[in-house]
Amino acid sequence: MLKKILVLSLAAMMIFSANIGVAAAEAGNTQYSITQAQGFTKETEVKRVIDPDKPMVALTFDDGPSKYTPEILQVLKENNSEATFFVLGTEANRYKDTLNQIIENGNQVGNHTYNHEDLTKLSDEDVYRQVQGTNDIIYNVSGYTATIMRPPYGASDEELNKKISRPVIKWSIDTRDWENRNTQMILDNIFNNVKDGDIILMHDLYETTAEAAKIAVPKLIEMGYQLVTIDELSRYKELPLTAGKQYYNMYK
Ligand SMILES: [Zn+2]
């Protein structure tokens, strides 16, 4: 009997905290307060502290989530690091648990449209559907509000950026991982170019990319880089993100 009461009150508490999560999300919260509201305790983890005076880069992973995303999440977590995942609406619906894991681990999620169409070829109405529809899917699956956007193929101009009406995040290092599917070539593209404030483009769709992440994450840290989200990069470099503007890097 006692056990039953305990289970019931636990269930009640879970419903209660889930409601807080929804209420907080509707009040236009940030990813950080959602994480707190949903009760993901981080007490057992080493506290992550970013030193604004030390070099930092943002790893970004597009087109997922996929079956390889958990391996990338694992290496990030093991190294007390965070990255940004620009997800597709179709894949967010397919890999709901993985999307939630990305967020629970403290990573940032960005919008990469519903099904990877070239937005420069779409009507205004379809651009709106691709962008807002994907934000809606991310929110429905996870309670998380994506605040940044990356257009497929990096294809956008000033006019389209305004229509997207969010900060548009491009990149300064292209690993060409979708093309080379070669772990060593991905690593070479990173390590021959990396510098403070870089935004590095990868895709969490390929085994070769997951393998490259397993090597690159600890090696970048060993070199003195802090691996941060786009929001963190913007905050610590004191370069605020503005809706309708595009960003290739965060060099100071
Ligand atoms: Zn893409």
Average pLDDT over residues 160-164: 98
In this structure, the answer to whether residues 58 and 125 fall within a common structural domain is yes
pLDDT of residue 111: 98
In this structure, the answer to whether residues 71 and 170 fall within a common structural domain is yes
Residue with tokens 């109405």: 125
Residue of 228 and 18 predicted with greater confidence:
228
How far is residue 204's CA from residue 177's CA, in Å, rounded to a whole number? 9
Determine, yes or no, domain membership for 16.
yes
Average pLDDT over residues 128-150: 98
pLDDT at 250 over 60: yes
Please report which confidence band the pLDDT of residue 235 belongs to, taking 50, 70 and 90 as the band edges: very high
In this structure, the answer to whether residues 120 and 219 fall within a common structural domain is yes
In this structure, the answer to whether residues 9 and 126 fall within a common structural domain is no
In this structure, the answer to whether residues 102 and 26 fall within a common structural domain is no
Distance from the alpha carbon of residue 180 to the mean position of ligand 1, in angstroms: 15
Determine the longest span between alpha carbons in the chain, in angstroms: 65
Average pLDDT over residues 8-31: 41
pLDDT at 103 over 60: yes
Structure-block tokens of residue 3: 């056990």
| 3-state SS, one letter per residue, for 45-100 | CCCCCCCCCCCEEEEEEECCCCCCHHHHHHHHHHCCCCCEEEECHHHHHHCHHHHH
Q: SS3 of 227, please?
A: strand
Distance from the alpha carbon of residue 202 to the mean position of ligand 1, in angstroms: 9
How far is residue 15's CA from residue 8's CA, in Å, rounded to a whole number? 11
In this structure, the answer to whether residues 76 and 195 fall within a common structural domain is yes
- Average per-residue pLDDT for the chain: 88
pLDDT of residue 74: 98
pLDDT at 32 over 50: no
In this structure, the answer to whether residues 65 and 169 fall within a common structural domain is yes
In this structure, the answer to whether residues 101 and 10 fall within a common structural domain is no
Whole-number percent of the chain with pLDDT over 70? 82
pLDDT (tens digit per residue) in 198-219:
999 999 999 999 999 999 999 9
pLDDT of residue 44: 54
In this structure, the answer to whether residues 121 and 37 fall within a common structural domain is no
- Which residues are in the CB-under-5-Å shell of ion ligand 1? 62-63, 152
pLDDT of residue 237: 97
Distance from the alpha carbon of residue 179 to the mean position of ligand 1, in angstroms: 12
Determine, yes or no, domain membership for 63.
yes
Q: SS3 of 177, please?
A: helix
pLDDT of residue 45: 57
pLDDT of residue 245: 98
In this structure, the answer to whether residues 96 and 151 fall within a common structural domain is yes
In this structure, the answer to whether residues 132 and 27 fall within a common structural domain is no
Which of 168, 45, 190, 194 lies closest to 113 in space, CA to CA?
168
H or E stretch including 229?
none
The total of structural domains in the chain comes to 2
In this structure, the answer to whether residues 133 and 241 fall within a common structural domain is yes
Amino acid at residue number 184: Q
Average pLDDT over residues 28-37: 42
Determine, yes or no, domain membership for 53.
yes
Residue 108, domain CATH: 3.20.20.370
The range of the structural domain enclosing residue 6 comes to 1-41
Distance from the alpha carbon of residue 218 to the mean position of ligand 1, in angstroms: 25
Catalytic positions: 62, 203
Beta strands in the chain (DSSP E): 56-62, 84-87, 108-111, 168-169, 173-174, 199-203, 226-227, 246-247
Determine, yes or no, domain membership for 252.
no
